[in-house]
Amino acid sequence: MKLAAIVTALVLLVAAGTGLAATPLQPLVAGWEQFFKIEWQAGDRAGRPVVYGRILNDWGMPAANMRLLVEGLDASGAVRDQQVAWLGSMLQPGMRAYFEVPVPSPAPAYRVSVFAFDWVQTNGERD
């Protein structure tokens, strides 16, 4: 199991046990914004609040094991809840993927970021 997956599992266990981790979660890869573009909005599905949108791999390598960090913000912009959601598919260069993440309760604003991912490196051979 990769170190990032272990760290993610431990952080999620801590957050699940306390509602919000003592130290708020931060993306594990600083500068993820240079690789991915995200657009999102709040909505509801069957009367439950969700955050949904699309993510674009704007880099030249496939990305796998992608996790998104969805944060509910209060009116002052402070984080009131966080959760990590699996994207569920490998994201090829130039490809977009749709996501929809249920959130515990409606918030005045949300922030979505890439929490973690793994680059998939190939040897350059073609079938």
User: What is the model's pTM?
Assistant: 0.79
Beta-ladder partners of 71: 82, 111
Second-level CATH architecture of 3-119? Sandwich (2.60)
Domain layout of the chain by residue ranges = 3-119
Among 32, 9, 12, smallest CA distance to 82 is for 12
The answer to whether the beta carbons of residues 71 and 82 sit under 8 Å apart is yes
Among 113, 122, 89, 123, smallest CA distance to 35 is for 113
- Per-residue pLDDT in tens (0 to 9) along the chain, 127 residues: 454 444 444 444 444 443 555 789 999 999 999 999 999 999 999 999 999 999 999 999 999 999 999 999 999 999 999 999 999 889 999 999 999 999 999 999 999 999 999 999 976 655 5
